[in-house]
């Protein structure tokens, strides 16, 4: 250990205590509302239960944790390591051994688990510091390291992509995969696809679209209405739904694409709401808030995924001579989602290398320069908008066919916000970043459903953490689309902006 | 043959009038320079020719066609290329991608040939071809801006202060290349400059602009010798 080589600064106790006290205070304020009261559904008893002991406990933990971080900053890693490790081991052991919940800090396994995780992270950080005896790396250094890493990831994407794809294909046959996990994976795949679709608009063309869910809704309702009224199948309707959504994109884009930045964002936000409200109120056409049900399921090349084959036909299992298993349909839907996402990805990768894709990126950087080079700004933006919308429409059709039931409730602003969060947090324009962010934002909260009401808290925490550590997104790195022979390696430093 | 003819051109930014009736002409194969002090309206004139801001009065003809009302991107497709003020590179895109953007208005079949041509003009760009535009030095960025404009095979090249903020040696190099483009590739050049000395030396003809008007014109040599020009733009104000 080389810890002695690092100069030991005097530990500023009053300041650290004051800081930790303030953090604890904030936590108390937040926790009173979040944890302090609980509505009980027991009949007869009082409707509210008070849990101020939980509030005190969480404040105490925040106080100690903050003190630990301050100590880490002042190179006092060893005591923090010991303290955090003991705490983490004790809590984890208690959780694993299934101690009586009343004896632990909180009555929620999820919250205890989160705190144990935080303690583990803190001890890992302390251990790292003890091991390297290094001072806390500066923010810039850390940023540069993450940038290098994300550049590396992009360079690896040659084999990371296929690897992830292989994993995705093999997923349904992994031993520990059950129906629930497969459903989550399908959901994640849907959001990856939507993220990639929105990435064309936001990441490549730089048009902030807060109403992406409108195109998702148009796609879903297009499919549902076509299928219900004209008895058309999923595969026939899919391109129609995409075209309808693209048409909606052009319809919206034509008047508003001369707006920039915040103004465009507000108009698209409004459009999203308009579509939802039309769906809600046009009762004759959309069945309003009651929604549309009985939307047909997709077929496997014309073979329905049902137990009993239709008259004079085959169903999937009878055609292949298999035993009927309900999970087949889940697996099929999962593969369908993966396939749709893959199409979106391949399309994006390809179009980035074409003049139109390059024009999108150039337009994002400097619209004036683009115009002076002969790019038609409105048409270029319109194509981005329409193509992004088209993939939103595909996503919507898939959603409709998977759920079998749609109503305007599924197309609220929150959906737009989540999809946008996936794109922004993943790193604008980064394809793998979208995958990562979708898994983080959609997959984790679903997996941790046990956290109950803290699930959205986890979503929020994930967002805050990413935004603090990686303000430009997890994998913010742009790989050039043209390569000529073997050039010198790209220098990585921020250049002057002309 | 007249490539560019500007007749009684007026332009304004909102209520502020920037150009008060400009008349000028650029003939095929020429280098014509426009010199003048800061705020004389030089850049505004260049931008008005490109359609942004729109002329409030007067007209611009390019190869005999009235382009005054054409949208900016249409004007580019007619063969007017611009290396705008402040270079305006795509700083997150590589050198080659920037050049690809410059070729938007050109036949894609010419791309390799044109790329070779600008790489011969500016060998440093070949070395830097994979680098992001924003990481280039000031001189390299200017070279890239000119090279990008050349990728569209323009008939008329508009340059806005290419020497701005560059070291004397680089300025010399930039002007050398402008002369080369003009002599070898027969590109007509309209050059807006504050660096009157260099600009007048390579120009066939020049115009002097002040307060939104053309106040003087003549051949490059004449203007270099002109006492007024010398006092105002060459020997430094007192």
* Domain finish residue from B136, B153, B170: B153
- In a shared domain, residues B14 and B69: yes
- Per-residue model confidence (pLDDT) at position A138: 58
Residues A126-143: tens digit of each pLDDT: 777 777 665 445 556 766
Average pLDDT over residues B19-44: 92
What span, in angstroms and rounded, lies between the C-alpha atoms of A439 and A451?
Answer: 17
Confirm or reject contact between A363 and chain B (CB < 8 A).
no
Number of H helices, E strands in chain A: 19, 4
Query: Is position B142 within any domain?
Result: yes
Average pLDDT over residues A314-333: 82
Lowest mean pLDDT among A375-389, A469-483, B45-59: A469-483
How confident is residue A455, by pLDDT bands cut at 50, 70 and 90? low
Residues A268-301: tens digit of each pLDDT: 999 999 999 999 999 988 888 999 998 888 888 7
Structural contact between residues A359 and A203, judged by C-beta atoms closer than 8 angstroms = no
Which residues from B are below 8 Å from A362, CB to CB? 90, 93, 101
How confident is residue A488, by pLDDT bands cut at 50, 70 and 90? very low
B100 → closest Cβ in A482, A493, A494: A482
* CA distance to partner chain A, nearest, from residue B131 (Å): 5
- In a shared domain, residues B2 and B75: yes
Confirm or reject contact between B112 and chain A (CB < 8 A).
no
Query: Is position B189 within any domain?
Result: yes
B101 → closest Cβ in A373, A487, A491: A373
How confident is residue A342, by pLDDT bands cut at 50, 70 and 90? very high
- In a shared domain, residues B130 and B194: no
- In a shared domain, residues B140 and B69: no
Query: Is position B6 within any domain?
Result: yes
Residues 6+ away with beta carbon under 8 Å from B49: B4, B6, B60, B75, B80, B158, B190
Query: Is position B173 within any domain?
Result: no
Query: Is position B170 within any domain?
Result: no
Confirm or reject contact between B43 and chain A (CB < 8 A).
no
> Which residues share a beta bridge with B213?
B210
Integer CA distances (angstroms), B30 to A392, B42, B61, B85, in order: 53, 18, 16, 21
Which residues from A are below 8 Å from B148, CB to CB? 373
Query: Is position B177 within any domain?
Result: no
A379: closest chain B residue by CA: B73
- Per-residue model confidence (pLDDT) at position A251: 92
- In a shared domain, residues B31 and B9: yes
Mean pLDDT of chain A: 81
Residues B82-100: tens digit of each pLDDT: 988 888 999 889 999 999 9
- In a shared domain, residues B73 and B7: yes
- In a shared domain, residues B93 and B139: yes
The answer to whether B148 contacts A366, with C-beta atoms less than 8 Å apart, is: no
Which domains are present in chain A? 3-136 (no CATH), 152-469 (1.10.3470)
Query: Is position B175 within any domain?
Result: no
Using the predicted structure, report yes or no on whether residue A487 has a pLDDT greater than 90.
no
- Per-residue model confidence (pLDDT) at position A489: 41
Count the domains in chain B: 2
Residues B138-165: tens digit of each pLDDT: 889 999 999 999 998 999 999 999 988 8
Q: pLDDT higher for A245 or A156?
A: A245
- In a shared domain, residues B3 and B57: yes
Using the predicted structure, report yes or no on whether residue A103 has a pLDDT greater than 60.
no
Q: Which residue has the tokens 């103004």?
A: A263
Residues A182-216: tens digit of each pLDDT: 999 999 999 999 999 999 999 888 888 999 999 99
Query: Is position B168 within any domain?
Result: no
The answer to whether A372 contacts B91, with C-beta atoms less than 8 Å apart, is: no
* Domain finish residue from B135, B153, B171: B153
* CA distance to partner chain A, nearest, from residue B4 (Å): 17
A361 → closest Cβ in B76, B93, B148: B93
Residues 6+ away with beta carbon under 8 Å from A40: A46, A47, A48, A49
CATH number of the structural domain spanning residue B208: 3.40.50.300
The answer to whether A355 contacts B129, with C-beta atoms less than 8 Å apart, is: no
Percentage, residues of chain A above pLDDT 70: 82
What domain range includes position B234? Answer: 1-79+157-162+182-238
- Per-residue model confidence (pLDDT) at position A224: 94
ipTM above threshold 0.90: no
Confirm or reject contact between B155 and chain A (CB < 8 A).
no
The answer to whether A375 contacts B73, with C-beta atoms less than 8 Å apart, is: yes
- Per-residue model confidence (pLDDT) at position B238: 40
Using the predicted structure, report yes or no on whether residue A239 has a pLDDT greater than 50.
yes
- In a shared domain, residues B67 and B110: no
- In a shared domain, residues B74 and B91: no
> Which residues between 469 and 488 in chain A have a beta carbon less than 8 angstroms from any beta carbon of chain B?
478, 480-484, 487-488
How confident is residue A15, by pLDDT bands cut at 50, 70 and 90? confident
């Amino acid at each position: 250990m080389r810890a002695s080589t690092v100069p030991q600064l005097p530990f500023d106790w009053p300041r650290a205590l004051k800081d930790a006290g303030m953090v604890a205070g904030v936590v108390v304020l937040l926790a009173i509302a979040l944890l302090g009261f609980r509505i009980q559904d027991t009949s007869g008893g009082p409707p509210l239960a008070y849990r101020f002991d939980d509030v005190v406990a969480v404040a105490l933990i925040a106080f100690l944790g903050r003190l630990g971080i301050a100590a880490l900053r002042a190179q006092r890693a060893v005591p923090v390591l010991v303290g955090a490790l003991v705490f983490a081991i004790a809590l984890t052991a208690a959780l694993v051994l299934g101690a009586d919940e009343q004896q632990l800090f909180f009555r929620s396994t999820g919250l205890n688990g989160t705190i144990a995780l935080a303690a583990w992270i803190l001890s890992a950080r302390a251990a790292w510091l003890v091991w390297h005896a290094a001072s806390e790396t500066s923010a810039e250094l850390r940023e540069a390291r993450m940038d290098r890493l994300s550049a590396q990831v992009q360079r690896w994407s040659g084999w990371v992509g296929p690897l992830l794809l292989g994993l995705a294909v093999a997923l349904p046959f992994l031993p520990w995969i059950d129906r629930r996990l497969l459903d989550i994976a399908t959901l994640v795949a849907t959001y990856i696809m939507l993220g990639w679709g929105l990435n064309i608009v936001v990441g490549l063309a730089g048009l902030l679209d807060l109403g992406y869910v409108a195109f998702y809704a148009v796609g879903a309702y297009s499919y549902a209405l076509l299928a219900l009224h004209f008895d058309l199948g999923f595969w026939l309707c899919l391109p129609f739904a995409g075209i309808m959504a693209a048409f909606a994109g052009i319809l919206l884009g034509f008047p508003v694409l001369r707006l920039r930045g915040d103004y465009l964002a507000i108009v698209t936000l409004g459009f999203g709401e308009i579509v939802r409200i039309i769906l809600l109120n046009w009762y004759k056409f959309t069945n309003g808030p009651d929604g549309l049900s009985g939307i047909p399921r997709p077929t496997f090349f014309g073979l329905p995924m049902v137990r009993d084959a239709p008259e004079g036909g085959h169903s999937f299992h009878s055609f292949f001579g298999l035993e009927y298993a309900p999970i087949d349909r889940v697996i099929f839907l999962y593969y369908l989602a993966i396939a749709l996402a893959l199409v979106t990805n391949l399309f994006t990768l390809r179009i980035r290398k074409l003049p139109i894709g390059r024009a999108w990126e150039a337009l994002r950087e400097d619209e004036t320069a683009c115009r002076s080079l002969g790019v038609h700004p409105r048409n270029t933006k319109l194509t981005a908008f329409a193509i992004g919308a088209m993939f939103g429409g595909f996503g919507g059709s898939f959603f409709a066919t998977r759920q079998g039931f749609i109503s305007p409730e599924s197309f609220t602003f929150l959906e737009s916000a989540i999809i946008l969060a996936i794109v922004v947090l993943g790193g604008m324009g980064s394809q793998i970043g979208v995958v990562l962010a979708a898994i983080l934002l959609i997959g984790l909260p679903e997996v941790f459903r046990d956290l109950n009401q803290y699930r959205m808290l986890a979503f929020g925490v994930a967002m805050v953490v990413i935004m603090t550590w990686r303000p430009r997104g997890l994998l913010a790195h742009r790989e050039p689309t043209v390569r000529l022979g073997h050039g010198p390696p790209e220098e990585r430093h921020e250049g002057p902006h002309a | 043959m007249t490539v560019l003819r500007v007749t009684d051109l007026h332009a304004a930014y909102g209520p502020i009038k920037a150009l008060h009736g400009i008349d000028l002409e650029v003939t095929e194969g020429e280098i014509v320079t426009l010199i003048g002090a800061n705020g004389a309206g030089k850049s505004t004139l260049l931008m008005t020719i490109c359609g942004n801001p729109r002329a409030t009065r007067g007209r611009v003809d390019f190869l005999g066609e009235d382009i005054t009302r054409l949208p900016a991107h249409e004007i580019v497709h007619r063969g007017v290329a611009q290396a705008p003020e402040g270079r305006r590179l795509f700083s997150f895109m590589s050198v080659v991608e920037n050049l690809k953007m410059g070729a938007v208005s050109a036949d894609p079949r010419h791309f390799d040939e044109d790329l070779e041509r600008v790489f011969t003009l500016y060998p440093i760009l070949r070395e830097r071809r994979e680098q992001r535009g924003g990481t280039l030095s000031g001189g390299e960025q200017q070279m890239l801006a000119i090279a990008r404009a050349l990728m569209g095979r323009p008939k008329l090249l508009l340059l806005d202060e290419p020497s701005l903020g560059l070291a004397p040696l680089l300025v010399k190099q930039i002007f050398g290349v402008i002369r080369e483009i003009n002599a070898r590739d027969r590109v007509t050049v309209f050059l807006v400059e504050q660096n009157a000395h260099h600009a007048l030396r390579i120009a066939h003809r020049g115009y002097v602009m002040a307060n939104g008007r053309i106040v003087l014109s003549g051949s490059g040599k004449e203007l270099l010798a002109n006492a007024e020009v010398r006092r105002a733009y060459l020997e430094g104000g007192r």
